[in-house]
Structure 1
Amino acid sequence: MTRLALLTAASLAAVVASGPASAAERIKFDFWYGLTGPLGEVVQKHCELFNQSQDKYEAVCTGQGGYDKAEQNTIAAYRAKQQPTVVQIYDAGTVNFMLSGAVVPAPEFAAEHGLAIDWKAYFPAIADYYATSKGEMWSFPYNSSTAVMYWNKDLLAKVGKTEAPKTWEEFGADLVALKAAGVACPFATDFDTWPILEQFSAIHDLPVATRDNGYAGLDAELVFNKTKFADLVKDISAWVKDGEAVIMTQQTGKTKTQGFADGSCAFMLNSIADHSTIGKTAAPGLNWAPAMLPVYEGFQRHNSVIGGASLWVMKGKSAEEYEAAAAFLKYVTAPETGERYIAENTGYIPVTTNGFELLTKEGFYAEPAHAGREIAIASLNASEVGPLTHGIRLGNFTAIRTTIRSELEAAFTGKKDPQVALDDAVAAGNDILRRYEQTFRGVALP
């Protein structure tokens, strides 16, 4: 049984090929992606632009209906020998694909197909997320983000504030003042572990798990219930109880992004990728901006970590398909035809210094629609990347995130004491890690 067969599999998604009339003359290859909705449309358009840019290759691009499904469908397809040549896999799937034995490492693929990739140009926080212990990136970063704090300038002006809070203590005081000033929603929150736990831990240089957050081995154990993160969960739980924070999810009828964009809420923690969504859906005259996430007093700020996805090359395809895929990867990762396109059409950030410098030179960040997005770059580069700030590499991390999310919900809604909820999340998460470790017994992370 292959390593990949050990991973959870789902039904193989059908691939429907389409293309221009001259497509029969082209060398085709399959590219599967996980983004959906407007972001999925951006990816599909990127494929079309590549196909229109030359007449030798055709990317047959198929959305899989979500990041989870893209990973599951690719696993199932590989087992059936019907895998795509290239697939977009989100951050949480990195360790699964590194251990799968089913991928061609990016440096190897680039060398074999003449791709002149400047690996050192990638921002360290991005490069390290997808890198092996030897520092080699195994995939091509495509759409990257990090978390920021969005704030409503007009609502903060009601309490005499002209700048976003820099510490959690200041943030809490602002919530009290906002509520006293009649603001019904000082802080919109949900239970997403990415901005609340993962980003918080990175910028405070705190472990989510032992073994350098899993980078040093599959025997890592979750420990976030014993760090300063426990105080944040207690604080948010208290803010919700006191009406200074409001839970907003699809289940409550309005997401936190919607609550912020319509002007109801003063603060929200979310991805910089939401910058574009807020800009397009904001209430008329909304005066808002992104800022770096707060830190607790006594802590030095460290770099935040990334979210998003990267492009992986699968084993078992023909030389012609790899030739076509190489041309595609060159196009969609280049600053001029890749990073610029993604930044202009989404809220995602450029992934290299070359891309960032190109956009800065062209005045991208000076445009009102993009104002403040450079905050994300500053956050990712707030410090040198260290053992606790290069990311999280835990087996079956998607399931662990789901478990933690459930316990955060229990804490924030008052169903559990915050510390009990965190202890339960760690216990359940460690059970998931031990099962994953057992599945890959004897297999070392690259």
Structure 2
Amino acid sequence: MKKKIVSMLLVAAMVASMAVGCGSKNDSGNSDTKSDKGESITFMAPDWAIPSDDQLDEFTKETGIEVEVSEVGWDDIREKLATAATGNKNVADVVEVDWSWVGEFKAAGWLEPLKISDADKEDFLTLDTFTVDDEILALPYSNDYRIAYYNKDQFAKAGINEAPKTYAEVLEDAKALKASGVDYPLAMSMNAEEKAATGLMWTAFQMDGVVWNDDGTFNKDAIMDALNYYQEVLDADLVAPEDKTASGMEAYMRICSGTASFLVGPTMFVSKTQNPDDSAVVGQVEPILAPGKDGTAKKTMALPEALGVTSTSENKEAAQKFVEWYTSADMQKELNETLGSLPTRSSVLKELVDDGTIANAGAMLEASELIASPFPNGVPAYYAEMSSAMYNAINKMALGELTPEKAYEEMSSGLDQLLKEQ
């Protein structure tokens, strides 16, 4: 049974519990489902993660566990968790865990470590992102890793007959594209927001295979490689002025409008570039491996979503069953169809690409094998503050207020201060 709860009432009452688990739809582990008859759990997540009534009814039929759904805006979930935690209360049993929240939630003790099989560990593409100190704190349900896209028609018009393999080639190709009539051929987020910070992270990671040193400090060579590339892009006027002030998603969408010819960005654009409702360049854009320094990137970064269980939940076993069901291979196929979620299981992703369910996949599968976490010690608890220092410095550089060297100094000094406070 699905019962939606108005989020304001949920906050006022503060009576739900949190819990999560993992596994497969057809194999719910060693637990006796009969013992769950009459139980209920609360599931708090954004609208994009809410299964249909029919799907939730099927879960209840299989397990006897009713699911009360609290549909909450993504930006509000952290605040609700923090508010509940200060009162030592549960806000939900199963809860959304963004990749960037992992360190913070670990430090606060909000999540219950999860146990999954070795086979599942091998199947989940982005599990490392949600693993800290060898503890799995959440299980990824929606994949989102970085690949590149290029407009074959625009490249051909500029006299370029193959996709770029390095960032140096991207730069040279973009100059040729600009000369051919594409005013701003590169779609990049440079506004003072999170997407600018993650963009710099994956550029450094794809170039050098590293972003941070083992002690948590920035790897200067890698960050400077990325910042210097950004400066060359800016000097050649290859990024639209609005990319410096508009949202990152608006910048990315220029690959769909045809005002940009090349993007390194989210996997969602595999579908968006082929959807006539989103794209003016259907059939022109191909997903390819992200560029690197000496060839295509050997590593790429993922920004997935997951489900986690709160440490204070009184319904951990039932919640575990729910996450086993939600993240099973069968449900990943269903949720790809009903919600558009990109599978986090490599076996499911391969199946959907091979049978054509995911069309125009290009290098998706090959790129998925390159997914790695750039955080040597897991996502840190101070990630939000560090990200802020990064994107503000990037935006100042984009606006001509800082050189790459000064931008590095600003973000590095901010990180050093955060490390001292730990």
- TM-score class normalised by the smaller sequence: 0.7 to 0.9
Residue in 1 aligned with 2:302? Answer: 306
Secondary structure of 1:60's match? strand
Query: Please, which of 228, 253, 264 is the counterpart of residue 258 of structure 1?
Result: 253
Matched, 1:414 2:400: yes
2: CA distance, partners of 1:194 / 1:381: 23
How far apart are 1:284 and its partner, in Å? 5.8
Q: Kindly, what percent of the aligned residue pairs are identical? A: 18
**Aligned-partner Cα distance in 1 for 2:222–2:352:** 37
Q: Measure the CA separation in 1 of the matches of 2:299 and 2:410.
A: 28
Query: How many residue pairs end up in the alignment?
Result: 383
Aligned match of 1:127: 127
Secondary structure (helix, strand or coil) at the match of 1:398 reads helix
Query: For 2:217 and 2:260, how far apart are their aligned partners in 1?
Result: 33
The answer to whether structure 1 residue 329 and structure 2 residue 323 are counterparts is yes
- SS of equivalent residue, structure 1 residue 255: helix
Amino acid aligned to 1:105: P
Between the aligned partners of 1:47 and 1:195, the Cα distance in structure 2 is: 35
The offset of 1:73, in angstroms, is 1.4
Q: 1:426 to 1:29 in 2, by over 3 A?
A: same
Alignment partner of 1:200 is 2:207: no
Q: Cα distance, 1:58 vs. partner?
A: 2.4
Give secondary structure in 2 for the equivalent of 1:29.
strand
Q: Which residue of 2 aligns with 1:30?
A: 42
Name 2:99's counterpart in structure 1. Answer: 91
Name the structure, 1 or 2, with higher relative contact order (CA <8 Å, separation 6+): 2
RMSD of aligned alpha carbons: 3.1
Distance verdict in 2 for CA 1:316–1:399, change over 3 Å:
same
Secondary structure class of the residue paired with 1:88: strand
Amino acid at match of 1:371: N
CA–CA distance in structure 2, aligned partners of residues 391 and 290 of structure 1: 31
- Gap runs ≥5 in structure 2: 1-8, 16-36
- Structure 1 window deviating more from structure 2 (151-160 vs 279-288): it is 279-288
Please, which of 88, 93, 103 is the counterpart of residue 111 of structure 2? 103
Q: Give 5+ residue unaligned stretches, structure 1.
A: 1-10, 18-24, 111-115, 212-219, 438-446
User: Which residue of structure 2 lines up, in the alignment, with residue 58 of structure 1?
Assistant: 66
- Counterpart CA distance in 1 for 2:10 and 2:175 is 51
Partner of 1:79 in structure 2?
86
Residue 160 of structure 1 corresponds to which residue in structure 2? Answer: 159
Structure 2-normalised TM-score?
A: 0.80
Deviates more, 1:426-435 or 1:409-418: 426-435
Q: Aligned residue for 1:229?
A: 223
1:43 corresponds to 2:49: yes
* Amino acid corresponding to residue 148 of structure 1 in structure 2: I
Could you tell me how far 1:199 is from its partner in structure 2?
1.8
Taking the aligned partners of 1:358 and 1:286, their CA distance within structure 2 comes to 23
Of 348-357 and 401-410, more deviation after overlay is shown by 348-357
Aligned to 2:367: 379
CA deviation after TM superposition for structure 1 residue 345, in Å: 4.9
Contact map agreement 2:211 2:222 (CA 8 A) in 1: no
Q: Per-residue deviation at 1:431?
A: 1.5
Corresponding residue for residue 282 of structure 1:
279
Query: How does the TM-score come out when normalised to structure 1?
Result: 0.76
Q: Is the contact made by 2:41 and 2:66 (CA closer than 8 Å) also made in structure 1? A: yes
4+ residue segments displaced more than 6 Å: none
Shift of 1:243: 2.0
- Once the two structures are TM-superposed, the CA of residue 153 in structure 1 deviates from its matched residue by 1.5
| One-letter amino acid of the counterpart of residue 289, structure 2 | M
Cα 1:356–1:27, aligned 2, differ >3 Å: closer, same or farther? Answer: same
Do the aligned partners of residues 296 and 361 (structure 1) sit closer, same or farther apart at CA in structure 2, a change above 3 Å counting?
A: closer
- Pair 1:176 & 2:178 matched: no
